Structure 1
Amino acid sequence: MVTTATQHRLLTPGPLDLAAELERGAYSPPACDDVIAELEAAGLRGRGGAGFPASVKWRTVADASGPRVVVANGEEGEPSSRKDRWLLLNRPHLVLDGLLLAARTIGADRAVVYLSHEETVTAMREAIAELPVPGLVPEVHVVEPTYVAGEETAACRSISGGPALPTARPPRVCDSGVDGRPTLVSNVETLAHAAWISRNGAAAYRESGTAGSPGTTLVTLTGACAAPGVYEVPFGLTVAELFEVAGGFTGAPAGFVMGGWFGGLLGPAHASTVCTYEAVRAAGSGFGCGAITALAPGTDPLTVAAEITAWYAAESAQQCGACLKGTAAIRDAFAALRDGTASDTDRHNLERWGRTLPGRGACAFLDGAAGWARTVHDEFPDHFGR
């Protein structure tokens, strides 16, 4: 049985109020001279899904000219993830600590908390009202909960007064984001880790992971496990070891929905895959936001694929033809496969779309739908060809 008791820096038995956070060092000055260098030494990567090095994003905006903005992204439109909501409800001051740290570090004169769930909005407004430090007061910006609203260009567009829909890049938000200003958009978990690292140091952070895999991460484990929920685990455990933290599998998994709904579907053999960004990518999927669903024994992968690609078609921003047509075509082909009415052309098209559609949309949303075509084809050939 894997134990993570010594790793639980972010997760706690219950909500921590301001007094408890202050005892843990919240809002105290960083113990390091160079916060960005410390994040780089720690190997901290963004927890919003892409896993991009946090230090690179922070440094890029810090080096930009003109007034800057920092956004704490807690919109969490991923249907299978609950980690950001857990943090916002239970550790709002840790998130604010990281947000204000980021603002000071990059020289931002505006800080925004970007949210879409009523309970998190309430928790964050209450925490902001009791901030114990003078200076910059973060704003709260609320949007309707959708998947694409969490994309960083959509966040900047919404805060600037437009719809919460992605925009084409370039420009990147680090060059022109909120109101055309250089903007750092950071997931709330990333900010929580950054606050901890600034007080405890890169070395302590790296030691909290496994050999060669620095740090811990929050994961949302659901499906065929004894105790679904949000857990903090060290990087470098296998999928099976992660689910041991959640009480173990309740039966031999039929597969794994990886990285939220963006990483597609991996077969049951991937219980032995190590959970790092690189290893899961090499397996043909992505670790993403750390949400993993274990499919119950006997689950039909085509039924799962049909349901989730139907969700993709419904959630499309409908701003670009490639995405609008591509998600609908993938949905229809999977429905035909599930229903036993697919033609050889349907099968051929799904295989082709899985490899040619990524990168064709204005944002990465289409890549997620295409990933389902590719992974189901590669991981479940017997079902794909029925």
Structure 2
Amino acid sequence: MNQITATLGIPTDSFRTENALDLPKLKKLIVSLWNQSDGLKAFQEALKEHNLTMREGDRKETRSGAHIIETSDGTLIGSFTRLTKIRMAEFRTLLAEEQQKTAKKPETDIKSTRLPFRRTTDNFYDEFPIPKASDVHTVTLKRPVIKRPKMKEWQRQLLLQRMADVDTPSTKPLPSESPVHIISIDEIRFYQKIKKEIAQQQAILDQQAPEASWKPLDKEKMLTTWRRQLEPYQKQLRDSFDRYNSAKKAWQDAEKKRWHRMTGKAQKLEKIADALFYEFLEMLRFIVEALLHVVGLRPEPPNPTRTMMNENDQTALEQFKKNHDTEFSAIADSQKLTPWLDQRFENMAQTQQKRIEQWKQEHKAEQDAARQEIKRLSFLLTTRPASQNWQATTNLHTPSVALSMSP
């Protein structure tokens, strides 16, 4: 510690003025001592060299672990963490490590290692003699009798049969009436190619229509989904119709009054009603296209509504309303919408079944040919041609199989 103080080269008395301590110099001194110390213990010894001490703060409940540095006469200089710029968590870690180093190992209790003993008199063994082995009466224990469970008759017969099977040889000689067939490598290759061709024809036979593997349509679930998707479109159609109906009623009321006809207000209201009518037709076109898209009759979503329309557009909208009057009635009336959706579902299910039947008709000839080919190839696997006519037989019966075998 003297080395640290000597290294700083600052005398202790230079920090005290006539009336008070020079706190800035003391703080610099503390920072220098900490930077040159290799731990809390060395730092505390360096503080003692300058009549300084470090202890735990008075506010233990609010700031646990906080330490302060003060002079020997109790003058507070500052907090350790603030002076050294060290985080509180890091200081607690250093403090815990220092406490572990200074903790003393518990001394061994010699008393706990002593064995209890009892003093005996000289004639102790005469008063209490140890019995001899001949004097002790040994009690013979009977061996316990283990009773085996009674075996049933069928279990005994089965056990005897298994024991007889164990005594029989593992391999039995082949009967004389079953001759051993020896085939050549060419025949093995031939059978392998026949089996491969059968697998290919079986793959053709196992083909199904793409929609045949789909899950069956759930009517209630699909109708509920359609109604939920159509609700916002129905609201838009009602709002558009209400605007047109209000304008039409205002025009009709103005048409009944002579003053409104003379001032031209009735004509203005008529133009507004006509514009809202064509706007309603445009909204109708959008809603009907959305309905067809939701139920799957239109592949693309509806075209967005238009704000500016000419005479050609107005004529086309009127023709569209005439052509799709059924769909317009269904989307406008909730009572008519349910039967229309039911009919659409039935048509969709029938159309799907027709596509499946059409696919079967288109592939019927191919599958019939594959079935006949499998039957013919299976017959070749069960029959073994003569060795001398092997090549001729393979060429005669399997024209669709590419065989390249040596004679």
Shorter-chain TM range is: under 0.3
Could you tell me the TM-score, scaled by structure 2's length?
0.18
Which protein is richer in strand relative to its size? 1
Could you tell me the TM-score, scaled by structure 1's length?
0.18
Which protein is richer in helix relative to its size? 2
RCO higher in 1 or 2 (8 Å CA, sep ≥ 6)?
Answer: 1
